Amino acid sequence: MMLKPYRLGALLLTLLALPVMPSAAALAAPAAVAGKGHTAAQISEFLVGFYGDHGPSVQDREEHVSQILKERQQVNEGVDVLLCAHNEPLDISVGPVTVAKTASVGWATVTTHWGSGSTDTFTAYVRLDRSPIRLDDVICAG
C-alpha cells in the first residue's frame, strides 16, 4: 500500500505533536546527565554526607569512591588515603566548594580535627560529569 503525500505529512505532524518522554537516564541523574555537571551545592552536600563526623562508612568507601582511590588504598594499607590519616579523627569539616566547569572538576578543602586540638587538611576532588557523584581523588596537604 502506498501512502499519498498528504497522508505521510499528516502522519509526520501527528508524530511531532506527541509528547516527548525523557529517557530513564535523564530521570535518574539530575544535572550530570544533562551535561551541566554537579553544582557546588551538590558537591558540598555529597562531601559532608560522605565524610560525616569521623570518616566515610564502609558502604561509602565501596560505592562512592573512584577505582583509582580504591587501588591507592590497597597499596597504602597503613594510611587511610580518603582521610590522609593513620586513625579516625574526632571531627571533620568541609570548606567551601570550588567548581571549574572547563576542567569538569569540583573540590573542597576538608579539615580533620584531632584530640590534641590540632587539625590537618586535604583537598577532595569530584568529577562534575560522574553520576552518581563520587570521590574521584584526594590530595593530602603535607
Instruction: Go through the domains of the chain in sequence order and give each one's CATH number.
Output: 32-140 (3.10.450)
Q: What percent of the chain has pLDDT over 70?
A: 74
- Of 107 and 27, the structure prediction assigns the larger pLDDT to 107
Average pLDDT across the chain, whole number: 82
Reduced to 3 DSSP states, what percent helix, strand and coil does the chain have, rounded to the nearest 5? 35, 25, 40
Under the banding of pLDDT at 50, 70 and 90, the label for residue 104 is very high
Name the 3-class secondary structure at 18. Answer: coil
pLDDT of 61 reads: 96
| pLDDT for the residue numbered 116 | 85
Task: Tell me the C-alpha to C-alpha distance, in Å, between residue 67 and each of 12, 47, 57, 62, 110.
Answer: 47, 17, 17, 9, 21
pLDDT in tens, 8-49: 344 333 433 444 444 444 334 344 444 468 999 999 999 999
> CA separation (Å) from 99 to 27, 46, 96, 129, 140?
24, 14, 10, 12, 19
d(CA 48, CA 100): 19
